[in-house]
Amino acid sequence: MAANSTVLELSAARGSPGTMSGTKRGRATENSNARADANADGSANSAHPSPPPTTVFDNASGEDIARDAAAVQMATRETGTTWSSSSSSSSSSSSPSASSSARRDGNSDHGADGDNDDRTSRDYYFDSYSHHGIHEEMLKDEVRTRTYQMAILNNRHLFEGKVVLDVGCGTGILSMFAVQAGASHVYAVDSSSIIRQASIIVRDNGMSDRVTLIRGKMEDVTLPVPAVDVIVSEWMGYFLLYESMLNTVLAARDRWLRPGGIVFPDKAVMYLCAIEDGDMKRERIDFWDNVYGFDMSALKDVALKEPVVDIVDPKLVVTNSVPILNIDLQKCTEDDLSFASPFRLRAQRRDNVHSFVAYFECAFTRVRQPLGFSTSPFSKYTHWKQTIFYLNDPISVCEGEEITGTIACRPNRRNARDLDIALDINFDGKHCKIINKHAEYRLR
């Protein structure tokens, strides 16, 4: 490694809770590349417009979710003209999230003996982000990477001569975009060992004099400047909040961002819809009722409680989509990331609902021409896919009938990177009635 390619280290912070690796993809599905390829031969996005939010709810901070959801959707549509592509492949070809590469590296028997509550994402979080394969998957996600690239390079006026902080820099791609946009200096922070390769990458691209890489926990890092002008970070996880990297971005914002500074991206909205997914429910959940003639239904309850991260065929969507969480990164607090939001989903056809699906959109709105991206089933594939919450029993709906309820989310008490999610469901339909049905899930 050349002398001018320095990695500053805070060795005491390595492996400690809250350390940021800059990437959140330890649960990447084994055959995601094959399913991503399958997206290349369908109809264009424009044939499947994302269902607009139809219900207005306030989050814990009192902000109007629908207002910002509309702004984010407008931004994603601007970018969507660039990303028009096929609709997502059918979820029936997908594997459960439990088959992730990180779990194959020592956690493949997760939950098999009934003591799964003792094992969390913390067990595989740090090592998995040191592997180049996870970074390869993210970099090849063009929706993700090119949206960041356009947001930065098309807004040089926000970066020229400015000091930038890259929180969870990974391979350093966002830091180098910032240098291309004219940043005077970038401080790139990450706790994973991938930062050593990032240092070489920065050196090999002739940017060592304008990028300082710091290995350590963001909360423990002391920058050699009193403040920064811009914070860039790709912090989003599955279900938007999985792995709690946003908490670290907010801590960096509060400590290092100068008054009037900008967080990139600055807005995120999460949505909920309901789908028919009987085939995959039989394969993933009901499978445990009869395994080679044996009753293994004890594992059915375990399977139901773990959300599945996978691609959802847009043809399976039965209801409209409604916003359940709005995040303004310029002013939100860590408390806003624990939420309970009511929802009202209207059936668009007669069908059975087997699961609820969450997805999110992110936007850069403090720029000349707002832009963003969506992880909706109706949009081009991203490595975030969608998050599926299976129900024990299906809900039989007719067109126009409404499923109401509340979805709540908070960090797990034992490991804040995991999420405890609860659904409370009510339905009064022609063929089915549900009163205060409660279901709990844990995303890990």
The answer for residues whose C-beta is within 8 angstroms of residue 33's C-beta and 6 or more apart is 137
Closest CA to 52 of 315, 321, 349, 314: 321
The per-residue pLDDT for 47 is: 34
- Residue 234 a catalytic site member: yes
pLDDT per residue as tens digits for the range 277-302:
999 999 999 999 999 999 999 999 99
Whether 74 contacts 68, CB under 8 Å? no
Catalytic residue among 9, 30, 219, 243: 243
Instruction: Identify whether 290 is part of a domain.
Output: yes
> Is the pLDDT higher at 422 or at 19?
422
pLDDT per residue as tens digits for the range 119-144:
455 444 444 555 566 668 876 889 99
Instruction: Identify whether 173 is part of a domain.
Output: yes
The answer for residues whose C-beta is within 8 angstroms of residue 385's C-beta and 6 or more apart is 29, 32, 238, 309, 310, 311, 312, 375
Interatomic CA distance for residues 103 and 110, integer angstroms: 8
Catalytic residue among 137, 234, 306, 361: 234
Instruction: Identify whether 1 is part of a domain.
Output: no
Mean pLDDT of 239-252: 93
The neighbouring-strand residues paired with 214 are 8, 189
| pLDDT above 50 (res 346) | yes
CATH of the domain at 202: 2.70.160.11
Whether 23 contacts 168, CB under 8 Å? yes
Please report, as a single letter, which amino acid is at residue 416.
A
- Total domains present in the chain: 1
The per-residue pLDDT for 141 is: 87
Establish whether the linkage from the previous residue to 265 is cis, with ω within 30° of 0: yes
Instruction: Identify whether 38 is part of a domain.
Output: yes
pLDDT per residue as tens digits for the range 172-225:
999 999 999 999 999 999 998 899 999 999 999 999 999 999 999 999 999 999
pLDDT per residue as tens digits for the range 359-385:
999 999 999 999 999 999 999 999 999
Instruction: Identify whether 252 is part of a domain.
Output: yes
H or E element that contains 127: helix 125-128
The per-residue pLDDT for 406 is: 98
Cα distances from 292 to residues 108, 278, 288, 289, 296, in angstroms, run 21, 21, 10, 10, 10
Interatomic CA distance for residues 219 and 20, integer angstroms: 9
Instruction: Identify whether 418 is part of a domain.
Output: yes
Burial 84-116 (b: 16+ CB within 10 A, else e): ebbbbbbbeebbbbbebbbbeeebeebbeeeeb
Whether 83 contacts 308, CB under 8 Å? no
Instruction: Identify whether 114 is part of a domain.
Output: no
Domain carrying residue 287: 7-108+119-443
Give the number of other Cβ atoms within 10 Å of residue 302's Cβ: 14
Instruction: Identify whether 113 is part of a domain.
Output: no
**% residues pLDDT > 70 (the chain):** 70
Whether 402 contacts 346, CB under 8 Å? yes
Burial 17-31 (b: 16+ CB within 10 A, else e): ebbbbbbbbbbbbbe
